[in-house]
Amino acid sequence: MKKKVAVITHSTEVGKFYCSQLKGLFGEFIELESFSLEDNNVGKRINADLFVVATHAIYDTVKKYIVPDSDVVITNITLSKAGLEKIMKISAGTKAMLVNLSVEMALETISLIYYLGVNHIELVPVYPGIKQIPELKVAITPGELRHVPKNVEKIIDVGHRILDSNTIVEIALKLNLGQLLQKECFIEYFKNTVTNSYSLEVLTSKTNRLENQFEILLKVLEEGIIEIGLQGYILACNKSAEDIIGIKTDKMMGANVREILPLLPFEEVRKTKKPIKSKLIQLNNVHISVDITPVISYNKFLGAFAILNRFNDTEFQQHKLRAQLLKKGHRAKYYFEDIIGNSPIIVKAKEIAKKMAESEASILITGESGVGKELFAQAIHNSSIRSKFPFVAINCAAISENLLESELFGYEEGAFTGAKKGGKIGLFEFAHRGTLFLDEIGEMSLNLQAKLLRVIQEREVMRIGGDRVIKIDVRIIAATNRNLKELVNQKKFRKDFYYRLNVLPLQIPPLRDRGKDILLLAEEIKKELHSDFTLDDEVKNIFLNHNWEGNVRELRNYIEYLTYLGDKKIKKENLPFIEQDINNINNDKEELKFAQELEDFAGNSISEYIFVMEELALGYKERKGKGRRSIAKAAQQKDIYLTEQEIRSILVKLEEIGLATTSRGRGGSKMTQQGLQVLKILKG
């Protein structure tokens, strides 16, 4: 027989959202009915097996309509991991509004976001009826887009706050459906929900159901959990803790933590009554990140919970298992056909890349963040004779130097403290006969560059702590968004390593230089997201004139944003970057005027003006000025007759109409943004 669950919330939409979550988890085992203060449909006695109430304030309002002695769950809410990731991507120092239904809910959501570890932005509550709306460009909202002020340029919808794992467990136990918590859908839900030690602190305050709930949480959480009593004795631990520490559960249970795990900083937490976050310790030769949260009641210390995570939990002890993982996850998915675009600049890049695929030499792919460097790397691999072998990618900026070295070269058993039994195979060995893609290569330390250079030159690798040389056959494709030549000049990147990588250079153009490819890519992203809106002509024009500093990644974000708006026709007022790009379009007329003025003034010499402007544009890309002598030298190489005096006259005219600036001394001349736009017009 189905259990009847009544969900009572302030907002109708939130109630529907909670019902959809519960239905997705408990399915046919429950029957749901939603009530909300917004709909004013809570006015008589409600019968149900369980009442799920959003807040204590709402419960105080509606408890007279709830059958006495009924089971009630007051929800704890959190964010999805996807929602929190959106917030973490906001630039540090940003001041943003947090938009919700009321001042109380806005402040509550702000508190939740800060509690989940967000400390790099400042949030200001905004809600319907606020007297003065702050003039801020960014707004964050938990699904309440309708209340976001119209003057906001960028809206980040983190989705409705969701029921946390503790609440889901409590609901299951109240309904006598605890056996369902082992199902895949619940495990997936817990994985995608932001958790922290707070959920465990809440568990300790609910003494009448602590044992059952904690036992189930121990099983579903991936982290290692250890419960420590007042006197330091271990009261509970899960299988994950046993695996991480390497001590059997039956040996830990009842033991004093000071004796069995002396490096666990329990005593410090007991004395200070303050939590310890992300402390790196070593337990039984394993590096472990530890969070310890004290259990405090009426300012009295009752014990603590320790949450353990391996410092590197991606390693497998068996080479066979690593090979299986390799086959599943280290394969190139993309081909040249997947690179969308018809612009001459991207077509040329693909043609060059296809020729490079036929070679075995190292490739250095450069380009701004978000242009698709790894997409090209995978396409090159899949078009090469190595396509049937592994494509192994690693981000050199994502992990520390020591960890990166062990990932690349592998290590033998006992090579260093914390080394796994049986050792570890490195990515060079994984990529044998295939391709190793080194992303963000500009972030690699000089020390590691020297070691990597030797491996590439000698085509052999030695594991850390090993005494035998392992022959490898690997093609290197590296990528960076930094100017490596400049880093070489600054002694921040090895010159010999740079030339070893830069055998075949490939420059990926930024999105803003690809013209109507922008609209082609937008349509492709719409298909992936199943979007059904269309862009009017004015919006298309704005898209074509937008700077796209984040390139394709930024374009995808905007298409996703426009998809969630739900409008069938997108107009300029729907765009978060509207003001900036309307200004760009308004500037077009002025730039056309400058182009016409320059053509009239230059007459038959316009090609010489264009040549000088092209040289300045090259300097703009390299972030340096161009002097008359270097421009004259370039002209001589291209058989263009221009004296330094003639070049000086051209530069004076360009500066006069605002298309270039000239510095005294060795600063040279530099192109302005307006000059770049006028050059496009003249060349078009």
- Mean pLDDT score across all residues of the chain: 83
| pLDDT (0 to 100) of residue 290 | 87
pLDDT digits (tens, 9 = 90+) for 70-105: 889 998 888 888 899 999 999 999 999 999 988 888
| pLDDT (0 to 100) of residue 639 | 82
Number of C-alpha atoms within 13 angstroms, CB side, residue 680?
A: 13
Position 195 confidence tier, pLDDT thresholds 50, 70, 90? low
pLDDT digits (tens, 9 = 90+) for 146-173: 899 988 999 999 988 888 888 888 898 8
pLDDT digits (tens, 9 = 90+) for 360-392: 999 999 999 889 999 999 999 999 999 888 899
Give the least confident one: 136-145, 325-334, 446-455. Answer: 325-334
Output 230 or 340, whichever has higher pLDDT. 340
| pLDDT (0 to 100) of residue 215 | 59
Contact partners, residue 672, CB within 8 Å, separation at least 6: 658, 659, 660, 661
Position 41 confidence tier, pLDDT thresholds 50, 70, 90? confident
Contact partners, residue 4, CB within 8 Å, separation at least 6: 30, 31, 33, 47, 48, 49, 50
- Give me the percent of the chain exceeding a pLDDT of 70: 88
| pLDDT (0 to 100) of residue 313 | 47
Closest by Cα among 3, 125, 135, 137 to 73: 3
Position 574 confidence tier, pLDDT thresholds 50, 70, 90? confident
pLDDT surpassing 70 at residue 328: no
pLDDT surpassing 50 at residue 642: yes
Query: What residue has token string 């490596």?
Result: 484
Give the least confident one: 37-46, 592-601, 602-611. Answer: 592-601
| pLDDT (0 to 100) of residue 418 | 62
| pLDDT (0 to 100) of residue 81 | 87
To 10 degrees, the CA torsion angle through 257, 258, 264, 269? 90
pLDDT surpassing 90 at residue 478: yes
pLDDT surpassing 50 at residue 136: yes
Position 339 confidence tier, pLDDT thresholds 50, 70, 90? very high
Across 285-289, 626-630, 659-663, the highest mean pLDDT is recorded for 626-630
Residues 286-324 as b/e (b if ≥16 CB within 10 A, e otherwise) read bebbbbbbbbbeeeeeebbbbbbbbeeeeeeeeeeebee
| pLDDT (0 to 100) of residue 314 | 35
| pLDDT (0 to 100) of residue 151 | 86
Number of helices (H), then strands (E), belonging to the chain: the values are: 28, 28
Name the strand (E) or helix (H) holding 393.
Answer: strand 391-395
CA 262 vs CA 281, 457, 595: distances in Å: 10, 47, 75
CA 515 vs CA 238, 510, 554: distances in Å: 56, 10, 16
pLDDT surpassing 60 at residue 186: yes
Q: Are strands 504-507 and 363-366 parallel, antiparallel or unpaired?
A: parallel
**Are 97 and 124 a contacting pair, CB within 8 Å?**
yes
pLDDT surpassing 80 at residue 179: no
pLDDT surpassing 90 at residue 437: yes
Residues 103-126 as b/e (b if ≥16 CB within 10 A, e otherwise) read eebbebbbebbeebebeebebbbb
pLDDT surpassing 70 at residue 325: no
pLDDT digits (tens, 9 = 90+) for 544-558: 888 888 899 999 998
pLDDT surpassing 50 at residue 655: yes
| pLDDT (0 to 100) of residue 91 | 92
| pLDDT (0 to 100) of residue 609 | 86
Position 125 confidence tier, pLDDT thresholds 50, 70, 90? very high
| pLDDT (0 to 100) of residue 419 | 65
Q: Are strands 435-439 and 138-141 parallel, antiparallel or unpaired?
A: unpaired
Q: How far apart are CA 516 and CA 512, in angstroms?
A: 10
Q: How far apart are CA 255 and CA 260, in angstroms?
A: 7
Position 330 confidence tier, pLDDT thresholds 50, 70, 90? low
Position 44 confidence tier, pLDDT thresholds 50, 70, 90? confident
pLDDT digits (tens, 9 = 90+) for 346-356: 999 999 999 99
